Structure 1
């Protein structure tokens, strides 16, 4: 069970100082539990999953969209510009990805269409770009950068999920096309993004999509941005689109009922069966989460569940090549569901999560993904 006593990181930090909680000892115990869980998971489903390869095209997509996640941090520095192609200065020329046509042949055909900057008390900073070479419209969300971002990361008690696209959701339920999301609960901090979506956010984005109806649609993000990409992808699916959600280091965010509903919405189990039948993972549509094996953030908060299909990065250091990836299927990723019961342990867990956000394993996803540099 969740406790409504879970509180924001600002107050937790103060309380730790006042109470002199021994967070380091608890953090060590927690790390050991998480590592043990990872080892158990590594031994699961090996026979079936070892025969499933990552296609070269899927690897290239994961590498490409990790760089699109990196570009979201250029918004922080004011160096991403709308209404320009990459080659025209839409993104920083010092990045090879934005200026080296041998590395990225589409730089003269990739245009930043829209920059989304969340206002105070809101979430949702990112951008929309169209790559006419690859024929893809992409929506990429930034990870934690502002005070509101950090507050939302740690506002982890559950709240009832109600979609922003209420009219579309009710029509699909009434027509029998999808199930009702009964008793669905979601991480409250991430759910703040619904306020952003409830404005004209989705309409602005859809106007761009509709100009290129034959292009693929991809929603991506890292860490907090991955959680926002997941929520946005759900809304777009309810609105009749068929996006590929491809996220990196996604925290857990759903209760059991909502996890099952999201998997049903995206046909997760059917896509897994296709992967098994073909012996290969193809990132065409559906919900995929990329997880660095030593990254603890996708394993928390305790008690929450993760939807979608998982691909693990097994190598600690960069570069990450195709042979460093493993398909881990439906909900097979490492988890830690032992919810702390005493207040000291709860507060220490919160402090520990804060430190994990800065670990190399949380930042290294094909590139150093949380910086507007080095790729």
Structure 2
């Protein structure tokens, strides 16, 4: 018999309306390379569970496991020998937020990546989906920005309780370390990334970084919906989503140096739920189910598309609902995102 919570999730997916629109903005080789690079960078955060990411080491000098091609094969990742792991975040039992901070000196980028869900139970033990009032971790900086008229107060903002818990465990060590790195390398850019649960955490960490005066690129894969409508609008204002969209259309090229971007795969149900929350940012949609997925398999949908159900999406809803959360479509984001694998 299907558990009650799984049946509710089934109803969420079945009753979600179909919306489909796309843009003609091209996916350039540069953007495609970055998408593949950062999903791989996100995926190695799974190695934290086995304490296999080591601080003060480069990727190819013991920083991450030798079986990970992304870390050790410079044909696959030419900057592996120039990427140093600076900090590892290992969440305690009952907490969210395992991830790592690294600096790729070849690409001149600071990477903050968060681990995704590792078991089905992650989604149900942490799925406290009722909305709660949003309160930032960096309250002092938040209030200062409001007083200076740089942002408006996030009035009426609510979000997914289970993910907001992350701000209770996100330590200031991350921000202090990042500030130290950028003092030494002020020209480097920040990218915050994650897949699935890690994508939700990356979204929140990106908000905190914006409040602290940074200008990150938040790039998430398979992000569940976590904001109410008021907070979605505020987050889009914070990340200048409209301005980035307009500039991208004007130049006929996606402006990909900052802002909030979501990558969604056809057939992946996680970005559709819970239905009473909303996604922020600009969307890129992978319209090919199987791997490999190339640049021509990606549609830029931008801010106009909020749900990504294709015609006939529901036809494949056979089998156990328990398998939906980690089926192939949820893992197939340019690579098979599953554990501390070979990439």
TM-score under structure 2 length normalisation: 0.90
Question: Which segments of 5 or more consecutive residues in structure 2 lack a partner in the other structure?
Answer: 310-319
Provide the residue aligned with 1:369 in structure 2: 337
Q: In the alignment, is the contact (CA less than 8 A) between 1:307 and 1:331 conserved in 2?
A: no
Provide the residue aligned with 2:187 in structure 1: 214
**1:310-347 deviations in Å (ceiling 9; x for gaps):** 000000011110000000111513269xxxxxxxxxxx
CA displacement at 1:65 relative to structure 2:
0.2
Provide the residue aligned with 2:316 in structure 1: none
Q: In the alignment, is the contact (CA less than 8 A) between 1:151 and 1:189 conserved in 2?
A: no
- 1:360 is the counterpart of 2:328: yes
1:121 to 72, 75, 94: 94
Q: 1:32 to 1:81 in 2, by over 3 A?
A: same
Provide the residue aligned with 2:237 in structure 1: 264
Q: Tell me how far apart the structure 2 counterparts of residues 22 and 115 of structure 1 sit (CA, whole Å).
A: 33
SS at match of 2:170: helix
Q: 1:31 to 1:106 in 2, by over 3 A?
A: same
- 1:295 is the counterpart of 2:257: no
Deviates more, 1:83-92 or 1:60-69: 83-92
Q: 1:362 to 1:146 in 2, by over 3 A?
A: closer
Q: Tell me how far apart the structure 1 counterparts of residues 178 and 94 of structure 2 sit (CA, whole Å).
A: 21
- 1:307 is the counterpart of 2:307: no
Provide the residue aligned with 1:190 in structure 2: 163
Q: In the alignment, is the contact (CA less than 8 A) between 1:57 and 1:282 conserved in 2?
A: no
Q: 1:22 to 1:144 in 2, by over 3 A?
A: closer
CA displacement at 1:152 relative to structure 2:
5.6
CA displacement at 1:95 relative to structure 2:
1.8
CA displacement at 1:60 relative to structure 2:
0.6
Q: Tell me how far apart the structure 2 counterparts of residues 26 and 115 of structure 1 sit (CA, whole Å).
A: 33
Provide the residue aligned with 1:228 in structure 2: 201
CA displacement at 1:237 relative to structure 2:
0.4
Provide the residue aligned with 1:240 in structure 2: 213
Provide the residue aligned with 2:153 in structure 1: 180
Deviates more, 1:205-214 or 1:256-265: 205-214
SS at match of 2:154: coil
- 1:41 is the counterpart of 2:19: yes
CA displacement at 1:208 relative to structure 2:
3.1
Q: 1:261 to 1:113 in 2, by over 3 A?
A: same
**1:54-88 deviations in Å (ceiling 9; x for gaps):** 12111111000000111011112222211100121
Q: Tell me how far apart the structure 2 counterparts of residues 142 and 200 of structure 1 sit (CA, whole Å).
A: 18
Q: Tell me how far apart the structure 2 counterparts of residues 107 and 178 of structure 1 sit (CA, whole Å).
A: 38
Q: In the alignment, is the contact (CA less than 8 A) between 2:244 and 2:255 conserved in 1?
A: no
Question: Which segments of 5 or more consecutive residues in structure 1 lack a partner in the other structure?
Answer: 1-12, 337-350
TM-score under structure 1 length normalisation: 0.83
Q: 1:131 to 1:69 in 2, by over 3 A?
A: same
Q: In the alignment, is the contact (CA less than 8 A) between 2:12 and 2:275 conserved in 1?
A: no
Q: Tell me how far apart the structure 1 counterparts of residues 6 and 275 of structure 2 sit (CA, whole Å).
A: 17
Provide the residue aligned with 1:108 in structure 2: 81
Q: Tell me how far apart the structure 2 counterparts of residues 227 and 320 of structure 1 sit (CA, whole Å).
A: 23
Q: Tell me how far apart the structure 2 counterparts of residues 22 and 98 of structure 1 sit (CA, whole Å).
A: 39
- 1:91 is the counterpart of 2:69: no
Number of aligned residue pairs: 333
Please identify which structure carries the higher helix content.
Answer: 1
Superposition RMSD in Å: 2.4
Q: In the alignment, is the contact (CA less than 8 A) between 1:128 and 1:138 conserved in 2?
A: yes
CA displacement at 1:122 relative to structure 2:
1.7
Higher gyration radius (CA): 1
Q: In the alignment, is the contact (CA less than 8 A) between 1:248 and 1:289 conserved in 2?
A: yes
Q: Tell me how far apart the structure 1 counterparts of residues 134 and 211 of structure 2 sit (CA, whole Å).
A: 14
Q: In the alignment, is the contact (CA less than 8 A) between 2:278 and 2:306 conserved in 1?
A: no
Q: 1:179 to 1:23 in 2, by over 3 A?
A: closer
Provide the residue aligned with 2:317 in structure 1: none
SS at match of 2:220: strand
Q: In the alignment, is the contact (CA less than 8 A) between 1:249 and 1:297 conserved in 2?
A: yes
- 1:60 is the counterpart of 2:57: no
Q: 1:121 to 1:320 in 2, by over 3 A?
A: same
CA displacement at 1:355 relative to structure 2:
3.4
